[in-house]
Chains A and B, each alone.
Chain A
Amino acid sequence: MTRIALTVNDTPVTAEVTPRTQLAEFLREHLLLTGTHIGCEHGICGACTVEIDGEIARSCITYAVTCDGAHIRTIEGFDADALMADLRRAFAEAHALQCGYCTPGMLIAARDLVRRKSGLNRSEIRTEMSGNLCRCTGYVGIVDAIERVMAGGPSLQSAPPQGLDRNHGKPRAQAGGDRVRSWLGPAPGPVASPTPAPPRASPVGRADVAPAPRRAAPGRARGPIEVTVDVLEDVGAESRIRQSFVLPHPRDAVWRLMSDVPALARCMPGLALDGPPSGDKVSGRLEASLGPIRASFAGEGTLRRFPSDFRQVVAGSGGDPRSGSRASGSVDYRLSAVTDEAGGETTRVEVIIGYALTGPLAQFGRAGLVRDLVRRIGEALAQNLDAQLCDPGAALPQAQLGGLSLLLKALADQARAFLSRLLRPR
């Protein structure tokens, strides 16, 4: 627990909170200020909008501990505010609410907009208010209400009570308005809290933290193998890409390596097999990361081999217990011999990777990012295969796949795998 001291609706508050306590949760559950609503709880819907040091913010993705020393204003704190009174009246007259769930956040965001800008047309008002979702009204009444108050201009916005600074709306005599105005980072800034929380020597245990992956280093003087990528049409729920690259080694050598499942698995970034294949079955774990997201898919697959075509297909599926997401996929590769300019035999490897992801990771999914991750896994595989063929004894670097983590699944031979997703902007 961490002790915080802040001001909520002009009332000083001290409390013990866990670092993970969201500001919205603190306001509602600790202070019983239930006018702040929680909708999506991940920063999309705007129902939880409050003011922190006079600037609107999402209280569901802001943690109470980071508001130590700040001035928070919730919808309950606007009762005596003249501009808010105008907005409330306009909302009522224009039928700008029905169920009322979005209304506290909508009003606070609307007041901030009217305070900052004037003369906007309806389209501009919609754009400015696009961070607050309403599922009842269709927004027409909301835009009408804001347009009406905005058209009222400064005359409608009579002097605020309690000595608030009208232009900045910051109820902050004691915090020092000049300081707040000159601070360019997220509120509240440095002076609000004279005593930074001490670092913890041993934070919450996470025994299962994977070691930081090392960066892939092709480890050869020659340039990296160039990999071309085509995006294929989806098949059902499965996304597909095709990668193609040429390894400067004879086809028989490449085929030998790619038929050796444990050796091939070592070339696959993030993949660890549970053991040698049993018949045509193989099981293992695939780890990947994408920014802060990290996933680890444990799964199993089957191997089909078509030696006369120099073709192998691995298909499998697995799950990431931590996120409850599942991935399935297949890797189908085929080797063809190509004679290079010098007359030497090289091998073109054509790989079709199909993958599908379900569960929480997929819900956030941004398909393109997952595809990019799959692509990078494929590229790392190409470099590792080349390195292994040049020096079979070489220790392969583990490829790093990103700052966050995503995850994948595992499999066998080559690539398989897949993905995860991610997140949001800002």
Chain B
Amino acid sequence: MKPVAFAYARPASVGEAAQMLAAEPGAKVLAGGQTLGPILNLRLAQPALLIDIARIPELAAVGEDADGATIGATVTHAAIEDGRVPDPTGGFLARVARGIAYRAVRTRGTIGGSLAHADPAADWLSCLSALGTQVYITGATGTRTLELDTFVRGTMETALAKDELLTAVRIPRFSPRARFGFHKICRKAGEFAEAIGVVAYDPESAIYRAVAGATNGRPLVLALRAGVAAKPFTVAEAEHMLQSMRYAGDAYERQLHAAALRRASELAFAP
């Protein structure tokens, strides 16, 4: 279908975009458009104004220092897949990016757009939740920084106010000994995941986290106790973790999520 008519604006800066958002209640931000485009075409959303932020230079900027990397909101999945951005995880980000939807989507879809949309089945939401990511936000009246798990409030629901944009993500640096695993279960390659499992383990910073994603709500993050061995989870362990995360789903879904967690741990701790 064709979308209903909308107005289009292309602000030159984040500040200008925030002011437009504040001024027009029916406005939606357009970044890569790989989620919004289908929604518009299907007429499930009918915004009065699209604010195209895809050409604002500061939003596509990246940087890194000893503690981590900052990736601008409109950096595409393909740029991450291709290793064109700093990766403080030693390659894990690129591996996750490679599995997002399809190449023709990854070339336009953005990391910030994915987080701001907060679809529970999105790859970055689960992946970045396991890494202890912060998000940078700019509004009409100022800026703020939130932990990702505070930023995401539920299914497609975030802490962004009406006049705010997510401008960048900040990912901490992991040691060379860190291990990561990401596994998603979908019926067709590139489709929305039915379950996502993520494991992040860094013996040098004592980080050991497991995440159950695509749960139809926020990603469920479990900080594993120091005593938990850094080795692949058994089925019983994965199910116990889901319980600790207070996962609510039927028996089939629980099994999917337990399998995703277990497979993620196998990837993380593969010899």
Tell me if B147 counts as interface (CB < 8 A to partner A).
Answer: no
Chain B residues whose C-beta falls within 8 Å of the C-beta of A169 in the assembled complex: none
- The answer to whether B44 and A197 touch across the interface, beta carbons within 8 angstroms, is no
- The answer to whether A184 and B56 touch across the interface, beta carbons within 8 angstroms, is no
- The answer to whether A197 and B154 touch across the interface, beta carbons within 8 angstroms, is no
Contact code string B21-58 (vs A, CB < 8 Å = 1, else 0):
00011111011111111111111111111101011110
- The answer to whether A42 and B216 touch across the interface, beta carbons within 8 angstroms, is no
Tell me if B190 counts as interface (CB < 8 A to partner A).
Answer: yes
Tell me if A229 counts as interface (CB < 8 A to partner B).
Answer: yes
Chain B residues whose C-beta falls within 8 Å of the C-beta of A185 in the assembled complex: 31-32, 54-55, 59-60, 72, 74-76, 79, 110
- The answer to whether B60 and A372 touch across the interface, beta carbons within 8 angstroms, is no
Q: How large is the interface on B (under 10, 10 to 19, 20 to 34, 35 or more residues)?
A: 35 or more
A186 interface neighbour in B26, B27, B31, B191, Cβ under 8 Å: B31
Tell me if A98 counts as interface (CB < 8 A to partner B).
Answer: no
Chain A: which residue is nearest B30 at the CB level? A66
A183 in contact with B44 given A66-B52, A203-B7 (CB within 8 Å) = no
Count of A-B contacts judged by CB separation below 8 Å: 277
Cα separation A41 to B1 with both chains bound (whole Å): 6
Cα separation A289 to B216 with both chains bound (whole Å): 15
Tell me if A366 counts as interface (CB < 8 A to partner B).
Answer: yes
A364 to chain B, nearest CB (A): 7
- The answer to whether B105 and A206 touch across the interface, beta carbons within 8 angstroms, is no
Contact code string B76-109 (vs A, CB < 8 Å = 1, else 0):
1111000011000000000000001111111111
Contact code string A169-200 (vs B, CB < 8 Å = 1, else 0):
00000000000000111111110110011111
- The answer to whether B44 and A372 touch across the interface, beta carbons within 8 angstroms, is no
Binds A, one of B119-127, B197-205, B224-232, B236-244: B119-127
Chain A: which residue is nearest B156 at the CB level? A291
Cα separation A211 to B25 with both chains bound (whole Å): 8
Tell me if A84 counts as interface (CB < 8 A to partner B).
Answer: no
Chain A residues whose C-beta falls within 8 Å of the C-beta of B75 in the assembled complex: 184-185
| Interface size in chain A (residues, C-beta < 8 A) | 86
Chain B residues whose C-beta falls within 8 Å of the C-beta of A44 in the assembled complex: 38
Tell me if B234 counts as interface (CB < 8 A to partner A).
Answer: no
B73 to chain A, nearest CB (A): 9
- The answer to whether B9 and A404 touch across the interface, beta carbons within 8 angstroms, is no
Binds B, one of A75-83, A124-132, A344-352: A124-132
Q: Which residues between 1 and 52 of chain A lie within 8 Å of chain B, taking CB atoms?
A: 2, 18-20, 22, 25, 41-44, 46, 49, 52
Tell me if B5 counts as interface (CB < 8 A to partner A).
Answer: yes
- The answer to whether A360 and B156 touch across the interface, beta carbons within 8 angstroms, is no
Q: Nearest 7 pairs between A and B by C-beta?
A: A131-B102, A61-B37, A291-B156, A203-B7, A19-B8, A185-B60, A368-B216
- Can you pick out 25 interface pairs between chain A and chain B where the beta carbons lie within 8 Å of each other? A18-B5, A20-B3, A22-B2, A52-B107, A58-B34, A58-B108, A63-B37, A66-B33, A109-B103, A131-B102, A131-B103, A184-B84, A185-B110, A189-B60, A196-B9, A203-B6, A209-B48, A292-B28, A292-B39, A292-B45, A323-B44, A360-B43, A368-B215, A422-B156, A425-B100
Report A's interface with B, CB cutoff 8 A. Answer: 2, 18-20, 22, 25, 41-44, 46, 49, 52, 55-58, 60-63, 65-66, 109, 112-113, 116, 126-128, 130-132, 183-190, 192-193, 196-200, 203-206, 209, 211-212, 229-231, 290-294, 322-323, 360-361, 364, 366, 368-369, 371-373, 376, 400-405, 422-426
8 extra interchain contacts, Cβ-Cβ under 8 A, other than A19-B50, A376-B155? Answer: A25-B2, A43-B41, A43-B105, A204-B7, A294-B45, A403-B118, A425-B193, A426-B122
